[in-house]
A = this chain, B = another copy of it.
Amino acid sequence: MTEPDLLVGKGEDFMLRLYDYYDSGNGYKVRLLLAHLGIRYEYVETDILKGETRTPEFLALNPNGRVPLVVLEDGPLAESNAILFYFAEGTPYLPADKLGRARVLQWLFFEQYSHEPYVAVARFLLRHTAPDDPRREVLEQRQKGGYAALGVMERHLAENPFFVGDRYSIADIALYAYTHVADQGGFELSSFPCLRAWLARVERQAGYERMLLKHRGT
């Protein structure tokens, strides 16, 4: 784990630190919401490819050894979608009503169970492993599962502009993160017109910030 090398914002009211890897869609979810909310934070680049999430220091913050992780005044909080929920509560990015919140959570769990393990894993394999790496044996199966998830999204978006309550929320942020770079996992989106229109809709939201595909500090 390197020392903080990218200060996105640090002022008198500083308290938030984000441990993240630049190429992580899970990390980008958090960066995108914080950009929408105008919340400044200290960025701690943590290279998952070099094992920096498995050091004793990092495991003391997150025993599950994964980024993103935020350190709040009251301690660490892990899991990208839990972090989204924390910062979105009480803002326009999470519905105020109980059922609306539960429907957002439905899509957040869909994302982590039925989408990320396929779309993000296929992308990781194509970006970070060699063509003859044995891990690529599962690529086809991951792509098949990814297309199933994209199909569920397409059917929903054929009838709704966003995932919950006809407005942009953290459900959209969570699903946008890996979907908008799905082509890097070998996914072809031409037969998903409603999904592509939704991607463009997300990109028109106030405060939208694109994913860094190369770390700013390098």
Q: Which residues of A contact B (CB under 8 A)?
A: 63-64, 72, 74, 77-83, 85-86, 89-90, 98-99, 101-103, 105-106, 108-110, 112-114, 116-117, 152, 155-156
Contact = CB atoms under 8 A, between A and B. Distances in A.
Contact of A89 (B78, B81, B98): B98
A204 B78 CA distance: 29
Given A82-B103, A109-B112, 14 more contacts: A63-B155, A77-B102, A79-B105, A79-B113, A81-B109, A82-B106, A82-B108, A82-B109, A83-B102, A86-B98, A86-B101, A108-B109, A113-B113, A113-B116
B102 A82 contact: yes
Contact of A110 (B79, B99, B101): B79
Contact of A106 (B74, B79, B105, B106): B79
Describe A's contact surface by its main secondary structure: helix
Contacts of A86: 98-99, 101-102, 105
12 contacts: A63-B155, A74-B99, A79-B106, A79-B113, A81-B109, A82-B105, A82-B106, A86-B99, A89-B98, A89-B101, A105-B105, A113-B116
A110 B77 contact: no
A106 B89 contact: no
Contacts of A82: 102-103, 105-106, 108-109
Contacts of A81: 105, 109
A70 to B, nearest CB: 10
Contacts of A112: 109, 112-113
